[in-house]
Amino acid sequence: PEEAIADATSAVREWAEARMAKHLPLPAARTVADLLRLGEIDSAAGESAVMIPVLIDSGRPVRANLSLDAGLLAAIDAEASRRGLTRSAFIASAAREKIEGHR
């Protein structure tokens, strides 16, 4: 299930980016309650839903001031360096993974 969700997360991001590149609107986000109310999930037939977060980069970096424990910051810097990333790229990657539900 985790791999399927990760694949769906990547696929929906690519789909959304392709629509946006063609200047097509994205559908409005809906809750599971909305989908159940509209009959788009047949729970009696064993269907279920998983909410997939869609993170679309705006292409515009924004400076942010964060406060972190000095030990955590040192660990971030060491791991970012080991991976050949900047501190910002490492933190952004970690945040994206956490939001999208990756381990």
pLDDT for position 70: 97
| CA dihedral (32, 18, 21, 97) positive or negative | positive
Q: Given this model, what pLDDT does residue 103 score?
A: 54
User: Which tokens hold the place of 82?
Assistant: 């080991």
Answer whether 47's CB lies under 8 Å from 41's CB. yes
Check residue 58 and give its pLDDT.
80
Residue carrying the six token digits 């097509």: 24
| 30-58 per-position pLDDT tens digit | 888 888 889 888 888 888 888 888 888 88
Enter the tokens of residue 60: 């515009």
Residue 102 has pLDDT above 70, yes or no: no
Mean pLDDT of 66-80: 97
CATH number given to 59-103: 1.10.1220
Q: Where are the domains of the chain?
A: 1-56, 59-103
